[in-house]
Amino acid sequence: MDILLLRLIHIGTGVFWVGAVFTFFFFVQPTGAALGPEAAKFSYHLLHHRRLGVVILGSAVTTVLAGILLLLITSNGLDPDVLFDTSRLGYTVGGLAAIVTLGIGALYVYPRTTIVERTLGQLLADKRPPTPDEQQTLARVAGESKRAGWLVIAGLVVAVASMATARYWGLFL
């Protein structure tokens, strides 16, 4: 595939992935938590009807797949001499950070958003408040997602900072 098209896909979906995660983590989620039960309808619509979790995951997978293809093309098929040369090291470091971040998002955070979606769907369908068990589940999942969310934010900061500066690493290292 043309490298220009790959870069367009890679950077376009990467911008969405990072922007969506930051907006969700620092604005949408805290607003939902502050509004409590009043936010249930909004959160359910965002997750179930607008499929925000699936769309973020899709953009992350696309960014990483396009990045891996770019890495394969630009490093002569993952030649270590190229991967760890200071002129390309930033892409390798940023790529690894983004892959680990995708792992945390896909395997830890995403399953928890599906628990929230399922539980809120049940509550809205039954038009009732959460049972103590459901309340406990929602609080546990929110806490776990928040802690993992900080790791995701840190991973994305490393990935973006490395990718944005990679072409100049050779000048300083």
Positions touching ligand HEM (CB under 6 A) are 3, 7, 10-11, 14, 17-18, 63-64, 67-68, 70-71, 74, 91, 94-95, 98-99, 156, 159-160, 163-164, 166-167
> In terms of Cα–Cα distance, which of 1, 20, 12, 159 is closest to 95?
159
Query: Which residue, judged by CB position, is nearest to ligand HEM in the bound state?
Result: 67
Nearer to ligand HEM, 55 or 139 (CB): 55
- Output the 3-class SS for 71-120: HHHHCCCCCHHHHCCCCCHHHHHHHHHHHHHHHHHHHHHHHHHHHHHHHH
> In terms of Cα–Cα distance, which of 60, 147, 150 is closest to 98?
60
Q: Whole-number minimum distance, CB 15 to ligand HEM, in Å?
A: 7
Nearer to ligand HEM, 40 or 163 (CB): 163
Whole-angstrom Cα distance, residue 172 to residue 160? 18
User: Hey, what amino acid is at 155?
Assistant: G
Other CB atoms closer than 10 Å to residue 52's CB: what's the count?
Answer: 18
Q: Whole-number minimum distance, CB 165 to ligand HEM, in Å?
A: 8
Nearer to ligand HEM, 71 or 142 (CB): 71
Q: Whole-number minimum distance, CB 23 to ligand HEM, in Å?
A: 15
Q: Whole-number minimum distance, CB 28 to ligand HEM, in Å?
A: 19
